[in-house]
Structure 1
């Protein structure tokens, strides 16, 4: 499946949103919590692997405590990146490995829609 961009992959808002995602990936891989906090929108909510919708503060607290600690490699497939009003919606699939679950099934996949601040 090819990524759908709306209005186009060269739209500055989409480029900014995807760059924010890349900054977030680098920050997560290096456990740079201040950089993560800078990338997260103040009203961020995510569908977490614990099958709950959680807030920015919850995610950051769990990262700082070591409850969320992912290996530096994961795969992401972006199915859609589109401008909607004053936001960019990015949807797709991520497969991550949690360092904290050595005895549990380590691979998990989820479909998420997340909104963050662009460049």
Structure 2
């Protein structure tokens, strides 16, 4: 009989943040878009933070996507990302609020109107 494999972590996720539960900034949302600042990685970057930076090398990801790739809760990933943003290693852009998004149909009508003026 083989031992049962468990997906449970041997080390609790909050230890990835050094035991901290709250991020240093409250501006991050699970939909915040993260991108690397391309700073060279030094020895002061912890292994968990290094994994975040590696994930963002090909391009931008949302905070929720980073958490999913790392297998960490979003709240833990938020603490890691906040530290990297504070250190200048990441750029974070907040999601565009629903009220500020453009209605595609209105923009298409404006474009059609501009094209008709040109003719």
Name the TM-score, length of structure 2 as normaliser. 0.25
Between structure 1 and structure 2, the one with the greater Rg is 2
Relative to total residues, which structure has the larger strand share, 1 or 2? 1
